């Protein structure tokens, strides 16, 4: 059991993300010097979803920072399934493209599963392809989804021993929840997965030494859900704007958050109530500044790995 702590210690993702990117940058330059090859990442976005545009911009920027060559394909909302699949197939065939990322969600009418399955598994740097998922389930992962992989990096950086811990993952998506559970199992944690049909969610989550929350509901996890001293990883990223909700979620920090709302029209909060969790958790990831930065960093690491494997540089 995790030692009880009165005030949660923040698990800062920015420091870990910066370290990962520095390591990737050094390896990329070594690859260029030794082999004359620079890894390439192709990012495809369809439509004008504002959040997707921000995510893609961050990924392209990170690629530039670490020395990975990036290509950004911004396709119109009217793009047909055949046109999108043709682009994916052309990227599959190119020897200078090591990673292919199709930003989700796709516009209505486009089959996300069909698009993901069309990506060459050797270039599946998002880790969403059924081949990647199957290898992860078998304990032989090649490419792991970036968010859960980043969480493992964060826990390792802080020296958190997972063996024997009671871990609870709230959320069962293919992007976070399920692969997160697989990674924790591979580290010998005892894992419970909760979801929208779980009876008495708080009774289950309170048993966890490590609680990972990825459900997409602002501030759902409160004090009653958390074992005293537990490690809480908040994957959520939600927008809130109502003053009453901001005050309920941020407590003493509400005034600063309200200033952000006044400037932007919203502030960000995770799936965990930060004010309530800080009173009982031992460690807690902030939002923003926690898991999100790690996701992008691990995408860079996966792209470098793809280049190494494809070019037999390992």
102 & 176 share domain = no
CATH (domain of 40):
3.40.50.10860
Q: Under a CB-based contact definition with an 8 Å cutoff, are residues 283 and 9 in contact? A: yes
Do residue 184 and residue 51 come from a single domain?
no
CA gap 71, 5 in Å, rounded:
46
Number of residues assigned to the chain: 314
CA 294 – CA 300 distance, rounded (Å)? 10
| 165 and 91 share one domain | no
Mind listing the pLDDT tens digit for each residue in 106-147? Answer: 999 999 999 999 999 999 999 999 999 999 999 999 999 999
State yes or no: pLDDT of 4 exceeds 60.
no
Whether 116 and 155 share a structural domain: no
- Cβ–Cβ under 8 Å, residues 160 and 211: no
Contact status, residue 249 vs residue 219, Cβ threshold 8 Å: yes
3-state helix, strand, coil in the chain (%, to 5): 45, 15, 35
212 DSSP β-pair partners: 169, 233
| Spatial distance between the Cα atoms of 291 and 151, rounded to a whole number of angstroms | 7
Compute the distance between CA of residue 231 and CA of residue 209 in angstroms, rounded to an integer. Answer: 6
What percent of the chain lies above the pLDDT cut of 90? Answer: 93
Flag whether 4 is in a domain: no
Q: Are residues 41 and 153 in the same domain?
A: no
Q: Assess contact for 303 and 66: CB atoms under 8 A.
A: no
Domains contained in the chain, number: 2
Assigned token pair, 77: 């909302």
**pLDDT, tens digit, 9 for 90 and up, residues 53-91:** 889 999 999 999 999 999 999 999 999 999 999 999 999
**pLDDT tens for each residue of 17-30:** 999 999 999 999 99
Active site residues: 59, 103, 126
Q: Which domain holds residue 271?
A: 145-292
DSSP state of 64: H
Q: If you ran DSSP here, which 8-state letter would residue 121 be given?
A: G
- The percentage of the chain sitting over the pLDDT mark of 70, rounded to a whole number, equals 98
């Amino acid at each position: 059991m995790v030692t009880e702590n009165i005030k949660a210690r923040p698990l800062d993702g920015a420091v870990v993300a910066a370290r990962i990117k520095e390591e990737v940058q050094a390896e990329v330059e070594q690859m260029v010097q030794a082999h004359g090859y620079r890894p390439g990442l192709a990012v495809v976005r369809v439509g004008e979803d504002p959040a997707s545009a921000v995510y893609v911009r961050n990924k392209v920027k990170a690629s530039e920072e670490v020395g990975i060559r990036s290509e950004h394909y911004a396709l119109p909302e009217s793009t047909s399934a055949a046109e999108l699949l043709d682009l994916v197939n052309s990227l599959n065939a190119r020897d200078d493209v090591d990673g292919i990322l199709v930003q989700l969600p796709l516009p209505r009418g486009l089959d996300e599963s069909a698009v993901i399955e069309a990506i060459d598994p050797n270039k599946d740097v998002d880790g969403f392809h059924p081949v990647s998922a199957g290898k992860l389930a078998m304990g032989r992962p090649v490419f792991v989804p970036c968010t859960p992989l980043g969480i493992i990096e964060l826990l390792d950086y802080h020296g958190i021993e997972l063996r024997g811990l009671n871990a609870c993952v709230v959320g069962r998506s293919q992007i976070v929840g399920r692969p997160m559970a697989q990674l924790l199992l591979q580290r010998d944690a005892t894992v419970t997965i909760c979801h929208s049909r779980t009876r008495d969610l708080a009774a289950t989550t309170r048993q966890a030494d490590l609680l990972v929350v990825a459900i997409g509901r602002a501030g759902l996890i409160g004090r009653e859900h958390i074992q005293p001293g537990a490690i809480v990883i908040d994957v959520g990223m939600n927008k809130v704007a109502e003053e009453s909700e901001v005050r309920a979620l941020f407590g003493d920090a509400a005034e600063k958050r309200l200033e952000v709302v006044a400037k932007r029209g919203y502030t960000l909060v995770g799936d965990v109530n930060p004010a309530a969790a800080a009173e009982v958790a031992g460690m807690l990831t902030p939002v923003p500044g926690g898991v999100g930065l790690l996701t992008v960093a691990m995408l860079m690491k996966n792209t470098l790995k793809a280049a190494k494997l494809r070019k037999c540089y390992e």
